[in-house]
Amino acid sequence: MIYPSEFPLDNTNSAEKAVYDALKKISADQFDVYFGRKFAAIERGEKVEYEIDFLVADLRGDRLNALICLEVKGGQIIYDGRIDKWKQNHHHLDDPIKQVTGNMHSLVKRYADLAYPVPFGWGLVFPHTIVPDASSFPTVANPLQVFDTLGVQMIDRQIVDLCNWIRERNPNKRGADKGVYESFQKSLFQSLGIVIPLHKKFDLQEQRFIQLTEKQLLLLDLVAANQNILVKGPAGSGKTVLASTLAKRFYEEGKKVLLLTFNRILANNIRYNLRLPRDENRIEVATYHSICKRKIDEVDPEWWEAHSKEDDFWTEGAAFKLDDVLSGTVPEFDVLIIDEGQDFQELWFESLERLLKPEGSYYVFMDEHQNIFNAFRKVPGNRSFFNFPLTENCRNTKKIIDYLQQVVEERTQINQKTDTPEGDEVRQVFYRNDIEQLNLIKETWLHLVEQEGISPDRIVLMFNSLKKDSCIGSTRKLGKYPIEAVDRHGRMNPKAVNYTTINTFKGLEADVVFIIDTDKVENPDYKVLYTQASRAKYLLCVFIKP
């Protein structure tokens, strides 16, 4: 394991970041790595204050075999043996060997009882420097103790060699058992008892998600370079961000763009976030049925009202009528973008062809595992679509991604980026009846808001029933907070308990999601739970009746 599990966002040291990322490759079962351990003297002979960049514990064989102190120096490092001087980017550098050995000896003083059976060692890491040969550094340093650029790339192997060498030099030190190591580890984790509030953790994680999203947007050029693209990716892979950014890019190029969703709230949310002028007509963000109604009303204003109660109206009737009224008309859009394409019927795709110019571009973004309405069958056969896979989740924490992977099981592989925040464990809250569930929801929600400092507009309750049938149905408030539905733009009230259903919240997200009334799901399907759970960015609470 590496501690902390994420590189601190406020640390801008690129050398330490490079070494941190490399050390994550080391076997978590055989080594523990501690980054940035700070100490203040408590024993005679110990430095007053010192910091060990990386402390590596060799735990092979389920014992503590050795401890290695690593000192990291970035930039170009040069050692001049003629005058015994060090330089970093052509400037004077204090002797790093004296620094790392001094830190190691201070650690030995601090943990004298541990140092009796366990050998301590040291190493220097220069991630931006290539060391030509062993003669380039002082004779007091064994080549195994120096990690240059190439050594960092193979650090998992060189660390093993360094640990073996240190143990060979100390044949009388047999190591310590796991219990002794656990006591040592506990002392390393000592702090002043400062607990970071959950809302602060969210804010730190948000910075990392912004970075991940920016990396995902680099794919935009690859998508835009092709005329007809079918983009498939798991929940959280940035499909809506790419779709809306693509729409704005084409709009800014002077093209006329139509971006469609199935969900009205999602369309409103995208339109709001694009911040377009109210009278702008070169870009339209709408639902499939709203574009149907607008086009049909232009030709036959009485038709919609007369037929909207028919059984197959929403799946087939409106689509056939749209195809009919568009027959013979001149296509008006240069670009057609469909988000949440898994919610679209095959007939809908075909009817939309008449809106797109022959030379126009057609983009569909979808995730078949979110096909909760069982609508999607295939995209139109009269176009040749290039398949573009998105494979990495850049919205959910690692803990939530692990949970999503359990939900979809072997149906797909949800990949996570190296810099994805670890996040909190998914909370599974068990209840026996509606009264107990309501009390647990209230207790958990109020604790997050009043104790953890999370604003109510960062939390959404996801119903699995009509509100009147929910455990919360007859409740008007949680504490002093009224219970309100998420508004038509997908925005939440910072002074209320916000609720919704997955049917209306698809494509949107919240920092915290409560999935409630799971015992009231009419037709249990992994796709529903997967879609609901993937709405949570940082914290997911699933209320379960065993």
Tens of pLDDT, residues 50-91? 899 999 999 999 999 999 999 999 999 988 888 888 999 989
**What's the pLDDT at 192?**
37
The answer to whether the CB of 156 falls within 8 A of the CB of 26 is yes
Could you please report the per-residue DSSP string of 220-278? HHHHHTSSEEEEE--TTSSHHHHHHHHHHHHHHTT--EEEEES-HHHHHHHHHHHT--T
Residue 310 has pLDDT above 70, yes or no: yes
Average pLDDT over residues 344-361: 92
Give 211's pLDDT tier (boundaries 50, 70, 90). low
Buried residues in 111-134 as b, exposed as e (16+ CB within 10 A): beebbebbbbbbbbbbbbbebeee
Helix axis angle for 288-299 and 318-326, nearest 10°, is 50
**What's the pLDDT at 498?**
97
**What's the pLDDT at 66?**
95
Average pLDDT over residues 318-329: 93
Q: How many CB atoms neighbour CB 455 within 10 A?
A: 14
d(CA 260, CA 325): 19
Residue 382 has pLDDT above 80, yes or no: no
Q: What is the enclosing helix (H) or strand (E) of 511?
A: strand 510-515
The radius of gyration of the chain from alpha carbons, rounded to an integer in Å, stands at: 30
The answer to whether the CB of 345 falls within 8 A of the CB of 322 is no
Q: How many CB atoms neighbour CB 541 within 10 A?
A: 23
Give 193's pLDDT tier (boundaries 50, 70, 90). very low
Residue 255, amino acid: K
Residue 420 has pLDDT above 90, yes or no: no
Residues 6 or more apart whose Cβ sits within 8 Å of residue 413: 391, 405
Phi and psi of 107, rounded to 5°? Answer: -65, -40
**What's the pLDDT at 194?**
39
The label of the residue with tokens 């380039």 reads 136
The label of the residue with tokens 């079962």 reads 29
d(CA 89, CA 78): 8
Distance from the Cα of residue 255 to its chain's centroid: 33
d(CA 6, CA 3): 8
Q: Look at 73-87, 125-139, 191-205 and tell me which has the smallest mean pLDDT.
A: 191-205
**What's the pLDDT at 286?**
95
Residue 323, amino acid: D
Residues 6 or more apart whose Cβ sits within 8 Å of residue 431: 437, 440, 543, 544, 545
Residue 131 has pLDDT above 70, yes or no: yes
**What's the pLDDT at 214?**
64
Q: Higher-confidence residue: 211 or 440? A: 440
CA 445 vs CA 318, 448, 498: distances in Å: 42, 5, 11
Domains recognised in the chain with CATH numbers: 2-188 (3.40.1350), 226-390 (3.40.50.300), 398-544 (3.40.50.300)
Average pLDDT over residues 202-220: 63
**What's the pLDDT at 134?**
60
Of the candidates 300, 304, 287, the one whose C-alpha atom is nearest the C-alpha of residue 326 is: 300
| Gap between the terminal Cα atoms of the chain | 33
Residue 370 has pLDDT above 70, yes or no: yes
Share of the chain above pLDDT 90, in %: 61
Phi and psi of 10, rounded to 5°? Answer: -85, 5
DSSP-based three-state secondary structure for 64? strand
Q: Look at 73-77, 146-150, 196-200 and tell me which has the smallest mean pLDDT.
A: 196-200
Of the candidates 332, 369, 350, 365, the one whose C-alpha atom is nearest the C-alpha of residue 262 is: 365
d(CA 5, CA 24): 9
d(CA 458, CA 267): 20
**What's the pLDDT at 374?**
87
d(CA 527, CA 542): 15
Average pLDDT over residues 481-498: 94
**What's the pLDDT at 389?**
87
**What's the pLDDT at 422?**
83
The answer to whether the CB of 128 falls within 8 A of the CB of 89 is no
Q: Look at 4-13, 103-112, 296-305 and tell me which has the smallest mean pLDDT.
A: 4-13
**What's the pLDDT at 195?**
46
d(CA 314, CA 244): 25
